């Protein structure tokens, strides 16, 4: 494991230093107040130590201006920490548009990773440096949490939905992956390694991997094997809507609600189709819960994302 | 009539005698002693589990306990320490004993309900111990679903039932305190003459009666999902696992304030008494307790920043979390200012206050790290969190409890303990605590996740430090039990007011008589009127 200091984690992603600066700021403020109060307490204890048992202190009841001062200053500092923390959090929550997708499935007690090109790994994640990587994650059983301390990123992996996180690695090396949400017997064994590589090394690694069809190819095969294609037809004569261009669009439901078709919408529509039915269609689609694994789901979604709209999109010049 | 009256004029400890007179007592002071004995036993049990955790973590390999046993050990450490020690610690012992006396009442409003609350606690504790002996429970004290409801094959249902039952003991205590404070204050004891310990108990009681029913129903739903496969939390049968986290933390975050607010109340009493000076900013200290209790109900989502909760909900929870830091800061500054130009005695309660101040400062300030969302992403579920909440709940809560125990021990038992032993124990606990938990901040920022049975070797150094500190801490706690019990047997008799403190409890004999006051007290002065305080009835060392 590459490590610089024996008491500080390696800093190997673009956001790591943002997080560290915030940490040092709060550490500085905290240290100031901890030292201030401790010194005052000790100085008072020594200076005003009681001489005779019956001695009494000065007749002081309080001071409004002091109260306002020590209410106001902590409040302002706390708000600065809030805004700064929120800013870092928003950076961590919004993956760049050009992110490379990788799919992760957590199960007791391993991490299964699939690259878009089809290469799979277990408890390992190879990524190129200097390129944003977006992980789309699902769980097959209980809640897990994908944590890479060197990148300062962490996200729960929750059964029943898909969650995402992203990072851009900046330094080649090997770093820990930990499961950070307690998940049973071998929780502390649900660990792995991220290998951040120079882009050319990553390409070489991908080429040498045992690809079993890309995620999109696997998704396409599933789309046909599971007979999705019999209803979701491209010529809009099917019993279900054509899925081309659906991803990322706003869909109107039969109760009039409008929802954005993101990964979680697609996931829910496969596992629990009755919960959100598109306007103009009957709630006749069966559930695929128990028939498709979390990995299959991620492949299906990858495939649906690639489908093109049936008629040309009205707005041109969109790439 | 005269016979009965004379019984009530005797020390509450003396008359009547016999085990039955204790087990059927309606005297709030005796019930406080029953609670004190019970929570001490559970502290020892929970501490034994802690010792097993620290022993396992000396080496990176999971070589002492099996993974399953380790998971059960940290779960039981948490469940027992939180539900059976920390939550009842100050309210049910010091609160039970002092609250009626401090307001000039003979007892709580509902003495039978008070006794009932102790029996409910004992039943809940017995049910939980049954889970321990019936294979244990391995979900963590947080019982996160769907692991707890669908995956774990340990005695989750029994343990959840134990927690459910015990919740009612807490609700009854809170309810009893609130009614007592509204209805039974002595003539002249206005709200703004109440000791700050009483204000803190009032705020705590509000949290107890408003929050506890939610956690009770939540653990019951977990049990129902396990037993009946109702789809509440498990997505495979139509539930939502994150819903559990909202419900659980709606109580369990305010529960932290159940543990720390009473300790803050204790410190307010002790700082004034040991400085023999009016508390600085009485109303700010009083209202900051209420502010913490109320704002504390609106911050639960800061436990869910990485749970897939909406990021906008996260923003709201983060800003309110930052606000709750302010009343805690206000209290700390007021305590410090109280010492300014005080007449500070260096007796053992003072040492416990210093310990509290040091540890609570670190605990409170590290809460800011976790409230800042971008930083919490990295820190949550690591040892940084473990260190933070131990600094608050053990550093703050237990130091406050022990400080209060050392301050009121002469009143409660009529005996003085050894002063030197009290000071040495306070320092041992302070340094042992820091040695145990400070390294956990560092190893947490390095990325060591909590609840890990085995860990990468680069974290070993800090874990060894932590385990070594735990030995010191264990010696400190054991020492207290020994010299306090010794004081009961051989300790000198305590005077009525050994510290020269104000407050109704110091105007009556040590130990108090069964009815607390021979005649109804009439209060004519504000709290902490140290300008007219009597001299201590024992020399300052």
In a domain, A312, yes or no: no
pLDDT (0 to 100) of residue A288: 82
**pLDDT tens digits for range B171-228:** 999 999 999 999 999 999 999 999 999 999 999 999 999 999 999 999 999 999 998 9
Mutation site, B53, B150, B308, interface A, largest A CB count within 10 A: B308
Neighbours of B522 (CB within 10 A): 10
**pLDDT tens digits for range B476-491:** 999 999 999 999 999 9
| pLDDT band of A263, cuts 50, 70, 90 | confident
Mutation site, A1, A22, A30, A57, interface B, largest B CB count within 10 A: A57
Q: Collect all residues of chain A within an 8 Å Cβ-Cβ radius of residue B329.
A: 33, 70-71, 74
Distance CA A23, CA B299 (A): 21
CB B520 within 8 A of CB B101: no
Strand-pair partners of A8: A5
**Claim to verify: residue A171 and residue A221 sit in the same structural domain:** no
**pLDDT surpassing 70 at residue B316:** yes
CB A159 within 8 A of CB A143: yes
First to last CA, chain A: 40
Q: How far is B486 from chain A (nearest CA, A)?
A: 26
Q: Report helix, strand or coil for A243.
A: coil
**Claim to verify: residue A17 and residue A162 sit in the same structural domain:** yes
Residue A279 sits in a domain whose CATH number is: 1.10.760.10
Which residue does chain B place closest to A64, by CA atoms? B281
pLDDT (0 to 100) of residue B1: 38
CB-nearest to B531 from A40, A59, A87 is A59
Phi then psi for residue B449, to 5 deg, are -70, 150
Would you call A38 and B358 a contact, using CB atoms and an 8 Å cutoff? Answer: yes
Domains of chain B: 27-528 (1.20.210.10)
Longest Cα separation, chain B: 74
Q: Collect all residues of chain B within an 8 Å Cβ-Cβ radius of residue A182.
A: 71, 139-140, 144, 147, 450-451
Distance CA B225, CA B128 (A): 19
Distance CA B90, CA B102 (A): 15
In a domain, A286, yes or no: yes
Tokens 């579920």: give the residue: B381
Using alpha carbons only, give the angle B379, B354, B91 rounded to the nearest 5 degrees: 80
B130, with CB counted inside 10 A (0-12, 13-18, 19+), is middle
Burial A292-304 (b: 16+ CB within 10 A, else e): bebbbbbbbbbbb
pLDDT (0 to 100) of residue B405: 97
**pLDDT surpassing 90 at residue B492:** yes
Using alpha carbons only, give the angle B478, B483, B488 rounded to the nearest 5 degrees: 130
Q: How many CA atoms lie within 13 A of A225 on its CB side?
A: 12
pLDDT (0 to 100) of residue A211: 64
Min mean pLDDT across A103-112, A247-256, B103-112 is at A247-256
Mean pLDDT across B12-16:
83
CB-nearest to A188 from B144, B337, B452 is B452
Q: Which two tokens stand for residue B25?
A: 């007592």
Share of chain A above pLDDT 70, in %: 94
Rg for chain A (alpha carbons), in Å? Answer: 27
In a domain, A164, yes or no: yes
Residue A79 contacts B where some CB pair is shorter than 8 Å: yes
Which residue does chain B place closest to A175, by CA atoms? B447
CB-nearest to B361 from A34, A87, A141 is A34
In a domain, A256, yes or no: yes
**pLDDT surpassing 90 at residue A291:** no
Which residue does chain B place closest to A1, by CA atoms? B458
Q: Collect all residues of chain B within an 8 Å Cβ-Cβ radius of residue A84.
A: 372, 374
**pLDDT surpassing 70 at residue B360:** yes
**Claim to verify: residue A145 and residue A121 sit in the same structural domain:** yes
**Claim to verify: residue A38 and residue A147 sit in the same structural domain:** yes
Q: Any alpha helices (H) in chain A, and if so which ranges?
A: 16-47, 64-93, 199-208, 215-225, 228-231, 263-271, 294-306
CB A261 within 8 A of CB A246: yes
**pLDDT surpassing 80 at residue A234:** no
**pLDDT surpassing 50 at residue A22:** yes
Question: Count of domains in chain A?
Answer: 2
Q: Please give the ipTM for the structure prediction.
A: 0.92
Mean pLDDT across A64-84:
95
CA dihedral angle for residue B175, residue B176, residue B177, residue B179, rounded to 10 degrees: 80
**pLDDT tens digits for range B49-72:** 999 999 999 999 989 999 999 999
**Claim to verify: residue A249 and residue A191 sit in the same structural domain:** no
**pLDDT tens digits for range A299-317:** 888 888 888 876 554 454 4
Using alpha carbons only, give the angle A40, A44, A50 rounded to the nearest 5 degrees: 165
Q: Collect all residues of chain A within an 8 Å Cβ-Cβ radius of residue B446.
A: 7-9, 149
Kind of pairing between the strands at A258-260 and A163-167: unpaired
In a domain, A160, yes or no: yes
CA distances for B230 relative to A291, B222, B442, B502, angstroms? 22, 9, 42, 57
**Claim to verify: residue A72 and residue A205 sit in the same structural domain:** yes
Distance CA B179, CA B171 (A): 12
Q: Which two tokens stand for residue B173?
A: 């205590």
Instruction: State how far Cα A157 lies from the chain centre.
Output: 8
pLDDT (0 to 100) of residue A276: 85
pLDDT (0 to 100) of residue A306: 86
| Sign for the pseudo-dihedral over CA of B433, B438, B443, B448 | positive
Which residue does chain A place closest to B383, by CA atoms? A180
User: Which of B56, B290, B255, B33 has its CA nearest to residue B166?
Assistant: B255
Would you call B323 and A141 a contact, using CB atoms and an 8 Å cutoff? Answer: no
Would you call B378 and A153 a contact, using CB atoms and an 8 Å cutoff? Answer: yes
Residue A2 sits in a domain whose CATH number is: 2.60.40.420
**Claim to verify: residue A224 and residue A204 sit in the same structural domain:** no
In a domain, A121, yes or no: yes
* Residue finishing a domain among A163, A184, A212: A212
CB A226 within 8 A of CB A149: no
| pLDDT band of A186, cuts 50, 70, 90 | very high
**Claim to verify: residue A255 and residue A243 sit in the same structural domain:** yes
CA dihedral angle for residue A250, residue A253, residue A255, residue A257, rounded to 10 degrees: -10
CA distances for A20 relative to A12, A134, B321, B380, B390, angstroms? 11, 22, 21, 15, 24
Query: In what order do the strands lie in the sheet containing A191-197?
Result: A124-128, A191-197, A173-179, A144-148, A153-157
State which of A270-284, B125-139, B467-481 shows the largest mean pLDDT.
B467-481
Mutation site, B72, B147, B156, interface A, largest A CB count within 10 A: B147
**pLDDT surpassing 50 at residue A32:** yes
B233, with CB counted inside 10 A (0-12, 13-18, 19+), is buried
DSSP assignments along A10-39, one per residue: ---BTTHHHHHHHHHHHHHHHHHHHHHHHH
3-state SS, one letter per residue, for B269-287: HHHHHHHCCCCCCHHHHHH
DSSP assignments along B276-340, one per residue: TSPPTTHHHHHHHHHHHHHHGGG-GGGG-TTTT--HHHHHHHHHHHHHHHHHHHHHHHHHHHHHT
CB-nearest to B341 from A22, A60, A88 is A60
Q: How far is B144 from chain A (nearest CA, A)?
A: 8
CA distances for A184 relative to A179, B72, B162, B240, angstroms? 11, 10, 21, 19
**pLDDT tens digits for range B230-240:** 889 999 888 99
Phi then psi for residue A146, to 5 deg, are -90, 115
Would you call A70 and B330 a contact, using CB atoms and an 8 Å cutoff? Answer: yes
**pLDDT surpassing 50 at residue B2:** no
Min mean pLDDT across A241-245, A289-293, B261-265, B510-514 is at A289-293
Would you call A91 and B374 a contact, using CB atoms and an 8 Å cutoff? Answer: yes
pLDDT (0 to 100) of residue B301: 94
Mutation site, B321, B343, B362, B465, interface A, largest A CB count within 10 A: B343
Q: Collect all residues of chain A within an 8 Å Cβ-Cβ radius of residue B62.
A: 188
> B-contacting residues of A 148-207, CB under 8 Å?
149-150, 152-156, 158-161, 163, 176, 178-189, 191
Mean pLDDT across B382-411:
96
**Claim to verify: residue A101 and residue A175 sit in the same structural domain:** yes
CB-nearest to B343 from A56, A86, A160 is A56
Distance CA A99, CA B225 (A): 40
**Claim to verify: residue A267 and residue A251 sit in the same structural domain:** yes
Q: Report helix, strand or coil for B219.
A: helix
Strand-pair partners of A49: B344
CB B229 within 8 A of CB B237: yes
pLDDT (0 to 100) of residue A4: 55
Distance CA A192, CA A123 (A): 4
Q: Collect all residues of chain A within an 8 Å Cβ-Cβ radius of residue B495.
A: none
Q: How far is B1 from chain A (nearest CA, A)?
A: 42
| pLDDT band of A116, cuts 50, 70, 90 | confident
State the average pLDDT for chain A: 89
Mean pLDDT across A216-237:
81
CB-nearest to A82 from B151, B318, B333 is B318
CB-nearest to A145 from B282, B306, B319 is B306
| pLDDT band of A274, cuts 50, 70, 90 | confident
CB-nearest to B378 from A154, A163, A182 is A154
CB B213 within 8 A of CB B221: no
Mutation site, B69, B141, B373, interface A, largest A CB count within 10 A: B373
* Residue finishing a domain among A173, A195, A212: A212
Using alpha carbons only, give the angle B208, B211, B214 rounded to the nearest 5 degrees: 135
Q: At what angle do helices B419-446 and B383-390 cross, to 10 degrees?
A: 160
**Claim to verify: residue A35 and residue A184 sit in the same structural domain:** yes
Q: Collect all residues of chain A within an 8 Å Cβ-Cβ radius of residue B305.
A: 89
**pLDDT surpassing 70 at residue B39:** yes
Distance CA B539, CA A9 (A): 53
A-B C-beta contacts closer than 8 Å = 303
Q: Collect all residues of chain B within an 8 Å Cβ-Cβ radius of residue A289.
A: 236
Q: Which two tokens stand for residue A242?
A: 């054509």
In a domain, A83, yes or no: yes
**Claim to verify: residue A96 and residue A196 sit in the same structural domain:** yes
pLDDT (0 to 100) of residue B281: 94
Distance CA A246, CA A210 (A): 32
Structural domain of residue A262, as residue ranges? 215-306
Q: Collect all residues of chain A within an 8 Å Cβ-Cβ radius of residue B308.
A: 155-156, 158, 161, 163
Min mean pLDDT across A136-140, A276-280, B152-156, B248-252 is at A276-280
pLDDT (0 to 100) of residue B540: 39
Share of chain B above pLDDT 90, in %: 89
In a domain, A142, yes or no: yes
Distance CA B396, CA B264 (A): 8
pLDDT (0 to 100) of residue A243: 85
- Which residue would you say has higher pLDDT here, A271 or B333? B333
A230, with CB counted inside 10 A (0-12, 13-18, 19+), is exposed
* Residue finishing a domain among A178, A212, A246: A212
């Amino acid at each position: 494991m590459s490590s610089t200091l024996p008491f500080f984690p390696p800093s190997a992603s673009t956001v790591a230093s943002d997080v560290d600066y915030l940490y040092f700021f709060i550490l500085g403020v905290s240290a100031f107040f901890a030292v201030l109060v401790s010194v005052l307490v000790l100085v008072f204890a020594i200076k005003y130590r009681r001489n005779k048992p019956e001695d009494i202190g000065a007749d002081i009841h309080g001071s409004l201006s002091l109260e306002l001062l020590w209410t106001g200053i902590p409040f302002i500092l706390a708000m600065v920490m809030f805004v700064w923390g929120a800013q870092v959090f928003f950076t961590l929550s919004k993956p760049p548009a050009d992110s490379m997708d990788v799919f992760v499935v957590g199960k007791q007690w391993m991490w299964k990773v699939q690259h878009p090109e089809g290469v799979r790994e277990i408890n390992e994640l190879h990524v190129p440096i200097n390129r944003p990587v977006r992980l789309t994650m699902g769980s097959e059983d209980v809640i897990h949490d994908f944590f890479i301390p060197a990148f300062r990123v962490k996200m729960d992996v929750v059964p029943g939905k898909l969650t995402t996180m992203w990072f851009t690695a900046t330094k080649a090396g090997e770093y820990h992956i930990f499961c950070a949400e307690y998940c049973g017997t071998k929780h502390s064994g649900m660990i792995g390694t991220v290998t951040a590589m120079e882009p050319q090394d990553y390409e070489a690694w991908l080429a040498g991997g045992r690809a079993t069809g890309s995620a999109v190819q696997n998704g396409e095969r599933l789309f046909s094997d599971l007979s999705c294609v019999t209803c979701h037809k491209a010529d809009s004569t099917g019993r279900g809507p054509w899925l081309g261009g659906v991803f990322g669009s706003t869909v109107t439901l039969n109760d009039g609600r409008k929802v954005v078709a993101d990964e979680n919408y697609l996931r829910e529509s496969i596992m629990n189709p009755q919960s959100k039915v598109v306007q103009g269609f009957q709630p006749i689609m069966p559930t695929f819960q128990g028939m498709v694994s979390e990995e299959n789901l991620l492949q299906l979604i990858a495939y649906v994302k690639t489908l093109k709209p049936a008629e040309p999109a009205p707005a041109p010049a969109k790439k | 009539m005269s016979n009965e009256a004379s019984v009530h004029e005797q020390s509450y400890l003396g008359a009547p005698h016999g085990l039955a007179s204790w087990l059927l007592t309606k005297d709030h002071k005796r019930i406080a002693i029953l609670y004190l004995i019970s929570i001490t036993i559970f502290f020892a049990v929970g501490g034994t589990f802690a010792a097993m955790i620290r022993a396992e973590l000396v080496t990176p390999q999971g070589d002492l306990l099996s993974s399953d046993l380790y998971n059960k050990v940290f779960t039981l450490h948490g469940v027992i320490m939180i539900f059976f020690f920390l939550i009842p610690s100050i309210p049910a012992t010091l609160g039970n004993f002092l609250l009626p006396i401090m307001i000039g009442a003979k007892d709580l409003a509902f003495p039978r309900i008070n006794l009932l609350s102790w029996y409910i606690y004992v039943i809940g504790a017995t049910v939980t111990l049954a889970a321990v002996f019936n294979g244990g429970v391995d979900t963590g004290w947080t019982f996160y679903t769907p692991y707890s409801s669908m995956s774990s094959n340990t005695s989750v249902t029994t343990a959840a039932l134990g927690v459910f039952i015990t919740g009612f003991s807490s609700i009854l205590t809170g309810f009893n305190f609130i009614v007592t404070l509204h209805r039974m204050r002595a003539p002249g004891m206005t709200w703004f003459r109440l000791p700050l310990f009483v204000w803190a108990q009032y705020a705590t009681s509000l949290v107890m009666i408003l929050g506890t029913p939610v956690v009770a129903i939540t653990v019951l739903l977990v049990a129902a999902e396990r037993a009946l496969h109702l789809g509440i939390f498990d997505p495979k049968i139509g539930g939502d696992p994150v819903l559990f986290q909202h419900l659980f933390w709606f109580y369990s975050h305010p529960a932290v304030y159940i543990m720390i607010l009473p300790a803050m109340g204790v410190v307010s009493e002790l700082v004034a008494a040991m400085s023999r000076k009016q508390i600085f900013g009485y109303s700010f200290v009083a209202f900051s307790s209420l502010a913490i209790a109320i704002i504390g109900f609106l911050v639960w989502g800061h436990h869910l920043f990485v749970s897939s909760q909406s990021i906008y909900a996260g923003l709201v929870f983060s800003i309110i979390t930052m606000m709750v830091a302010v009343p805690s800061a206000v209290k700390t500054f007021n305590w410090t200012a109280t010492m300014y130009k005080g007449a500070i005695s260096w007796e053992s309660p003072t040492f416990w206050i210093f310990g509290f101040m040091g540890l609570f400062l670190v605990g409170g300030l590290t809460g800011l790290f976790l409230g800042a969302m971008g930083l919490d992403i990295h820190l949550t579920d690591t040892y940084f969190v473990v260190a933070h909440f131990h600094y608050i709940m053990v550093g703050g809560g237990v130091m406050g409890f022990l400080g209060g125990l050392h301050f009121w021990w002469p009143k409660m038992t009529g005996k003085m303990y050894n002063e030197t032993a009290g000071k040495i124990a306070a320092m041992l606990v302070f340094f042992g605590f820091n040695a145990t938990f400070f390294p956990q901040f560092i190893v947490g920022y390095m990325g060591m996740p909590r609840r890990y049975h085995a860990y990468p070797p680069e974290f070993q150094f800090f874990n060894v430090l932590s385990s070594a500190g735990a030995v010191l801490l264990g010696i400190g706690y054991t020492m207290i039990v020994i010299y306090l019990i010794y004081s009961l047997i051989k300790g000198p008799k305590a005077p009525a007011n050994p510290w020269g403190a104000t407050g109704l409890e110091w105007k009556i004999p040590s130990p108090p008589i069964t009815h607390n006051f021979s005649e109804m007290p009439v209060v004519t002065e504000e709290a902490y009127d140290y300008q007219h305080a009597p001299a201590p009835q024992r020399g300052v060392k």
